[in-house]
Every structure is written in C-alpha cells, then in structure tokens.
C-alpha cells in the first residue's frame, strides 16, 4: 500500500527584544507567546503518539526563554504588571493600559467579560482613562491581561489557574502573586516539554542561524539580483559569509547545550537559501534544510499548479526532498507546499474547526496522489505561534481534530524531517535559485528605500566593528558584546518592518530598537554613534487610499490597458498592505478601479504578477448590495476568462456574455467588467455597497475593500436614464 508522509514543521520565532547595553527587554512578546504557544503546541502531541512533528526554535528565542525561566529577564512592562496596584504611578498606569490591551480582541480579550468591560471603560474615558479607573480596575487589568494569554491546556489542567479564571473579577495582590508563580512554572515547562518530546522520539528539533538573519544577503547582498533582476540595491554590498558561518556555529552550540545533541536540520531564516548558504550549512554538518516550493519551481523551471482533483502538476518533484550536488558535502532540501501551509496560517481560522481539519486532511491525501506509485512526502511549514490568536480557542480544537485524523488514517503517516529523508528517493539539484518562502525572492528585506537605508547603516557599523575591535585598548568583553549587537542588527526582523510590505502599531519602537543596536556597537567600542543613527528610518504609516470617481467613463472591456485615458475619471481603491506582522496578505490585488457611464457600472481589477504566477485558475467575485442584492462570479482558467455567473437575490440568472449586451467581462493582464444598471436593478440617487473578492480552490484570498464594503452613490451627475 502506497503511503503519503506528512512532514509538518512548526517554526517558532520572535525578534530579539533585549538591549544588551541596558540589559532591558523592550517588548513583551517572548513572554506572552511563552504563556500561550510554546508549551501547548508540544504538550498536546502526547494525546497523539503516532503523530511525529518537527519544531524549529530560533536560538535567540531560546536564549530569551531561558532568561524568563530563570527570572532574570528585566522587562519594564512585566515589572509594571507585577507592581502593587496602589503603587502604580501615572506613567505606570498609562503603560499598563497600552500594553495590557495589545492583543487579539476577538479571541483573547473577549475570553473574559470583565477584561472586555475594562477595555471599554478605558476607551470611553479616552486619554485621561487612568483618572477614571479605580485601583481595583488596575489590579484586575494586571491579572487579566496576562491570564488572557494562558495556554488552554494549562487553564484546563491547573486548579489554581482555573480558580483565577472562575473568580472573574476583584482580584487581590495574593492572586497576582499566584499568577506570577504559575507563569514562572510555565516558562520552565517549555524547555522541559521540548526535551521530553524529543527524547521519546515524537519530535525533532531543528535550528536557525542564531539571531535569524537572511543568510544569502549576509553572505552577499548582491544575490538579490538573481531572484529579482533590476532590484535596487544598497550603496555598497554587504558581503560577510564569515558572519553567516559564525551565527550557524553559535546556533549549534546553544542547541547542543540545551538538548544534548547537535541539530540535524536547519530552517534558514524566512526559508532564505542560495547555493552558497546551503553549502555552508552542509559544511557545518547540517543534513537538511527547508524552503518554499517557489524556490524549487524557479530552480527546475516548472510550475506547481493545483488540478481540480486536488493533485498538483509536477507534484512528483514537489513531494520529495532534493539533494544539492556539487559541494564537498551534500545537503537535502525540503520544499513546503505553499498553499497548504497558507491555508493553516490565513484561512482556516475563519472556518469551523472540524471542517477545516477535514479539509486539510483531504487536501494532503489528494496531494499525495500527485506522485503516482511513489511514496509522497508532503511538507507543510509555517509559523507555529502567530496564527493561533486568530483561531477560536487558540487553534487547539483545529489542531487536535487534524492530528486525530492523521493518526487514524492508515495511508498517511506524520514523520519528522529526519525520518522523511528515508522514506522516498530524493531528487537532485545542481543549482538553487536564491530566494525565500515569500515570493521566492528577498524583496521584503532589500530593495525598498527604507530597507536599503538600513543595510547602508549596517554596513557602516560592520566596517567600524572590523576596524575598531582589533585595537588593543578596547576591552575583550566589550568587543564580544559589540559582536553580539552586530549579529542582532543582522537579523531579519528589522527589515521585515521597513519597506512597503508590513506595518504595525509598534513601527517606531522597532525602528528605534534597530538603531539602538547599531548605536551600541559604537558605544561599546568607545566611540560616539554617527548622527545619522538619530534619524528614524521608518516613514509614516500608509493606509488604504480611496479616490472617488470624478467623471463618466466608457472604457473598452478587453482585459488590457489599451489606453491610459480610458479609465481617467474612474474611482481608485488602493489596498494597504502594511497591516500586521504576518505575510499572508500577499499583494494579490494592486488596485480596484470603479466608475460609471450613463447606463452601466465599470470595474477593473489589477492583479499582481506574483498572483498570476501562482494561480492559473481563480475566480473574481463581485457583490453589489442595493435595492437588489446581486452577485457575479467570473471563472478564469489557463485559457483565460471562462464561465460568468450572475445571481440576483440568490437566484441565478442566465445572462449570455455578449459584446454590447447587458454584461461584458474580459481578462488579459487585468480583469475588466461592465454591467448595465438595468441588470443590477439600480436606480438614480441610490446608495449601494460594492465588494470585490479573489478566490482560488473555493477559498478566499483577498477582499476589497479591506474594511468590508465600498460605499457608492449613483448621483444624477454620474447616472442618467
């Protein structure tokens, strides 16, 4: 009987939040995710002994976890949470109100009605909230803002913690002290549970370069040109493969100390690989590494297209590891199924947990059929922490349902990465096109003005370190601290937030922390940081932009930008892609144009080249909510525009696609649509709502506008009958 093997890798990572000079943690996310994710993700596997999983823990995360477990982590936000409520200063209270409510409101804040009540009370009173909250209010916030992050398994299994949940409100300082003792207990159980699961053989623990740098760019930033010809580069190349090697060796050293053995596998930060990096990893003794299917597709010059039956074209290549040839030592590479990984990260949180688990199970089985009679290794890899706060119950019901289905399926086996290397014949590669697990390039971290500015400052600091660290008057311990600050600044997290792709409420804090790490290099080596490190790199946050229509239009519906002026006067909605820490909201839709003639509504959807490369089959869905509720679906496949369906009030209409008739649609480089008002049932001066969404495999990829609906007013100036 042919079997499908599931290689599931959960990647655990947080930025390094500690300022080494001041010895202070500037942000609380390692602590909070330690309460919510790291323990439970491993502990739940004890219910499913047949399921084997790979966990990747970034060494700098483990180092931070160790400090929290020892109780030596100095974090001002945590100190405020532990401080007696009656001793809180005005600044303490303001900080508590800021940090305490920085969490997912639907699934974490709403766990406890009293916590929601306090949030609403603070919000109603605005900037002066601290003046209107009582001492008991602040004490309850101190408790509930941490209790909200606690792991479900711990909440259910620990009587003391469960008692705090049942109490709901009116907490005492003794309750707060009890909570702190349980937090310390949980911090320590993270590493204990990892060691225990590893020793019983149920998990394999892999590693990453110590401070999570993008290794190919560390070795040679010019490598970005191969994956994106013409990408703008920093003024000078960053070329320090010795730093990449040092961060790998430091990772092996920490892993060996914590777990008693060398790691066999490497998750290169953000799945970023190149020939140079993979051969460097092989030389350091790593047996396997992993990245995304996009890198394999570009390396083999094939596409992995999903078929209607769930199999994948060229799946015989995707669903097996490959060996990179040509170096002194070979290394095996796993390539993740991008779609299956992203379904967990960005789609299943919006579905019923049981239905989502069943859907994933069946998709894995279908993917396994892509290799014919040969065993298939289906690799799913994603962040093991960020997604769960968007799932009800922290995703535990979904995961347990999925693990149960895998364990009960005789044709499917969940194996560790090391085990997966032995179950099927590996493919071979002579060359790997450099890239990451995001669009098979490095555009998130280099190329944009902010990114390149950060690289320029890093290069200057690296040059200064090389020159100054060898001078005899500098104390060796300060040189070593400066080296660590340099490695921290080489991490991927800073440029993740620079550039146009990502943004958060903490942009300024991340920007400041990056520049502090660079400044510390100069300070530790007895020099003054350059003035330019005082200048913020991050530009003000952008938001979605909506420019309403200014004139009637009558563009030709041909799926091409045949004439720039034909859409002049249309409204334009441009999405905001800088929202959130995860990269699941890929830039699929670049812009939505909308406008009117005297009798028809026109829409134009500009799709990104990345989306068109990834999806040969998809749907554009248009919803118009007015007097009559109308929904249109346009199916697009390899041959272009296919079936166009129209529903009015949930009743399907048979409307032929004919030039000059009531409905026209076309797809080429862009998608264009024209629908008569008569067909939509619209009237002059009517206010209607419009929504456009992009779908593939019956799953939503992106919705415009992001806020839900675009409000249109069909005024007499734009509509005549």
- Map out the domains of the chain as residue ranges: 4-16+201-211+221-228+239-429, 449-534, 545-713
Average pLDDT over residues 251-265: 97
Q: Report the pLDDT value the prediction gives residue 650, as an integer from 0 to 100.
A: 67
Q: Which residue has the higher pLDDT, 716 or 390?
A: 390
**What is the rounded average pLDDT of the residues 168-189?**
97
CA distance 222 to 232: 10
- Three-state SS for 18? strand
Contact 559, 666 (CB under 8 A): yes
Report the DSSP pairing between strands 331-336 and 288-292: parallel
Residue 443 has pLDDT above 90, yes or no: yes
Nearest to 492 by CA among 694, 316, 270, 291: 270
Q: What local confidence, expressed as pLDDT, does residue 201 receive?
A: 96
Q: Give the strand pairing for 24-25 and 18-19.
A: antiparallel
Q: Compare 611 and 465 and report the one with higher pLDDT.
A: 465
The encoded tokens of residue 628 equal: 């009559």
Instruction: Report whether the peptide linkage leading into residue 705 is cis, meaning its omega lies within 30 degrees of zero.
Output: yes
What pLDDT does 265 receive? 98
Q: Note whether 54 and 417 are within 8 A (CB).
A: yes
Fold of 4-16+201-211+221-228+239-429: 7-stranded beta/alpha barrel (3.20.110)
Residue 471: pLDDT over 70: yes
Which pLDDT belongs to residue 581? 44
The two three-digit tokens of residue 109, written as one number: 């804040």
- The set of residues, in sequence order, having a beta carbon less than 8 Å from that of 166 and lying 6+ positions away, is none
Q: What is the pLDDT of residues 584-635, one digit of tens each?
A: 445 678 889 998 888 888 999 998 877 787 778 888 989 887 666 788 889 9
Residue 343 burial by Cβ neighbours in a 10 Å radius (0-12, 13-18, 19+)? buried
Convert 253-319 into a string of H (helix), E (strand) and C (coil). HHHHHHHCCCCCEECCHHHCECHHHHHHHHHCCCCEEEEEHHHHHHHHCCCCCECCCCCECCHHHHC
pLDDT for 658: 44
Give the integer Cα–Cα distance in Å for 421 and 423.
Answer: 6
Q: How confident is the model at residue 719 (pLDDT cuts 50, 70, 90)?
A: very low
User: pTM of the predicted model, to two decimals?
Assistant: 0.80
Name the more confident of 382 and 657: 382
The average pLDDT across 670-696 equals 81
Confidence at residue 238, expressed as pLDDT on a 0 to 100 scale: 98
For residues 264 and 418, the answer to whether their CB atoms sit within 8 Å is yes
Which class in CATH covers the domain with range 545-713?
Answer: mainly beta
Q: Which of 103, 42, 39, 45 is nearest to 69 (CA)?
A: 39
The helix/strand/coil state of 666 is strand
Which range among 48-57, 470-479, 645-654 shows the weakest confidence by mean pLDDT? 645-654
- pLDDT of 685 > 70? The answer is no
* 646 vs 634: CA distance, rounded Å: 9
Render pLDDT for 301-353 as a digit per residue (tens, 0 to 9): 999 999 989 999 999 999 999 999 988 899 999 999 999 999 999 999 989 99
Q: How confident is the model at residue 182 (pLDDT cuts 50, 70, 90)?
A: very high
Fold agreement between 449-534 and 545-713: no
Q: Is 641 helix (H, G, I), strand (E, B) or coil?
A: strand
- What is the Cα–Cα distance from 74 to 385, expressed in whole angstroms? 23
Above 70 in pLDDT, residue 172?
yes
The C-alpha atoms of residue 702 and residue 584 are separated, in whole angstroms, by 10
Radius of gyration of the chain (CA): 27
Cβ atoms of 481 and 524 closer than 8 Å: yes
Q: What is the DSSP string of 564-619?
A: GGGGTT-EEEE-----BSSS-S---EEEEEEEE-SSEEEEEEEEPHHHHHH-SSEE
432: three-class secondary structure by DSSP: coil
Q: What is the mean pLDDT of residues 516-541?
A: 87
Q: Which CATH class is domain 449-534?
A: mainly alpha
Nearest in space to 387 (alpha carbons), one of 121, 177, 534, 585: 585
Q: In this predicted model, what pLDDT tens digit does every residue of 359-369 receive, in sequence order?
A: 999 999 999 99
High-pLDDT (> 90) share of the chain, %: 69
Average pLDDT of the chain to the nearest whole number = 90
Cα distances from 628 to residues 554, 596, 680, in angstroms, run 24, 18, 7
209 band by pLDDT with thresholds 50, 70 and 90: very high
Which ranges of 108-203 would DSSP assign to H, the alpha helix?
113-125, 129-132, 135-147, 152-157, 159-167, 173-199
Residue 2 structure tokens? 């042919």
CA angle 44, 5, 252 (to 5 degrees): 65
Distance CA 15, CA 492 (A): 8
- What digits encode the pLDDT tens for the residues 61-85? 999 999 999 999 999 999 999 999 9
Q: Averaging pLDDT over each range in 153-162, 414-423, 613-622, which range is the top one?
A: 414-423
């Amino acid at each position: 009987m042919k079997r499908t093997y599931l290689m599931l890798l959960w990647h655990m990572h947080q930025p390094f939040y500690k300022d080494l000079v001041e010895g202070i943690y500037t942000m609380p996310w390692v602590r909070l995710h330690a309460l919510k994710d790291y323990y439970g993700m491993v502990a739940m596997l004890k219910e499913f002994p047949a399921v084997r999983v790979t966990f990747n823990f970034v060494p700098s995360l483990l180092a931070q976890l160790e400090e929290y477990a020892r109780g030596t982590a100095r974090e001002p936000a945590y100190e405020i949470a532990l401080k007696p409520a009656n001793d809180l200063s005005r600044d303490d209270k303001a900080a508590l109100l800021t940090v305490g409510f920085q969490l997912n409101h639907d699934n974490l804040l709403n766990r406890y009605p009293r916590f929601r009540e306090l949030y609403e009370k603070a919000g109603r009173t605005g900037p002066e909230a601290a003046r209107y909250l009582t001492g008991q209010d602040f004490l309850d916030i101190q408790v509930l803002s941490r209790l909200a992050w606690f792991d479900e398994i711990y909440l259910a299994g620990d009587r003391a913690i469960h008692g705090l949940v049942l109490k709901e409100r009116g907490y005492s300082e003794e309750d707060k002290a009890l909570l702190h003792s349980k937090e310390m207990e949980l911090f320590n159980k993270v590493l204990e549970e990892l060691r225990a699961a590893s020793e019983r053989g149920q998990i394999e623990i892999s590693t990453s370069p110590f401070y999570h740098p993008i290794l190919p760019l560390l070795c040679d930033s010019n490598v970005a040109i191969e994956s994106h010809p013409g990408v703008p580069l920093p003024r000078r190349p960053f070329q320090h493969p010795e730093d990449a090697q040092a961060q790998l060796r430091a990772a092996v050293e920490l892993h060996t100390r914590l777990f008693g053995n060398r790691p066999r596998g490497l998750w290169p930060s953000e799945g970023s690989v190149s020939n140079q990096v993979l051969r460097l990893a092989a030389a350091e003794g790593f047996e396997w590494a992993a990245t995304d299917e996009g890198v394999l597709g570009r390396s083999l010059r094939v596409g992995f297209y999903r078929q209607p039956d769930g199999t994948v074209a060229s799946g015989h290549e995707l669903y097996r590891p490959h060996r990179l040839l040509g170096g002194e030592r070979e290394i095996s590479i796993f390539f993740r199924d991008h779609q299956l990984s992203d379904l967990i990260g960005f789609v299943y949180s919006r579905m019923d947990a049981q239905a989502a688990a069943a859907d994933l199970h069946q998709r894995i089985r279908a993917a396994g059929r892509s290799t014919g009679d040969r065993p298939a290794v289906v690799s799913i890899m994603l962040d093991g922490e960020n997604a769960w706060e968007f799932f009800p119950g922290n995703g535990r019901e979904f995961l347990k349902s999925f693990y149960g289905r895998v364990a009960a399926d005789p044709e499917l086996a969940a194996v560790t990465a090391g085990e997966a290397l032995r179950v099927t014949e590996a493919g071979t590669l002579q060359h790997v096109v450099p890239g990451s697990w995001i669009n098979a390039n490095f555009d998130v971290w280099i190329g944009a003005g902010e990114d390149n500015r950060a690289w320029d400052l890093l290069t200057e600091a690296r040059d200064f370190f090389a020159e100054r660290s060898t001078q005899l008057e500098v104390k060796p311990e300060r040189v070593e601290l400066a080296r660590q600050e340099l490695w921290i600044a080489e991490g991927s997290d800073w440029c993740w937030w620079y550039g146009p792709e990502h943004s958060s409420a903490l942009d300024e804090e991340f920007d400041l922390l990056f520049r502090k790490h660079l400044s510390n290099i100069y300070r530790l080596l007895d020099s003054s940081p350059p003035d330019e490190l005082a200048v913020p790199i991050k530009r003000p946050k952008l938001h979605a932009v909506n420019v309403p229509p200014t004139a009637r239009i009558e563009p030709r519906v041909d799926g091409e930008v045949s004439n720039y002026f034909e859409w002049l006067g249309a409204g334009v909605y441009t999405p905001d892609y800088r929202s959130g820490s995860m990269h699941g909201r890929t830039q699929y839709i670049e812009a939505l144009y909308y406008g009117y003639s005297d009798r028809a509504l026109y829409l134009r959807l500009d799709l990104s080249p990345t989306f068109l490369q990834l999806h040969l089959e998809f749907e554009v869905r248009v919803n118009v909510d007015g007097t009559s509720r109308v929904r249109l679906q346009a199916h697009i496949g390899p041959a272009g525009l296919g079936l166009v369906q129209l529903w009015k009030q949930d009743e399907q209409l048979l409307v032929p696609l004919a030039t000059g008739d009531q409905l026209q649609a076309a797809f080429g480089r862009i998608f264009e649509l024209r629908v008569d008002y008569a067909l939509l049932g619209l009237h002059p001066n009517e206010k209607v709502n419009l929504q456009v969404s992009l779908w593939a495999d019956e799953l939503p990829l992106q919705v415009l506008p992001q806020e839900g609906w675009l409000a249109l007013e069909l005024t007499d100036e734009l509509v005549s009958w």
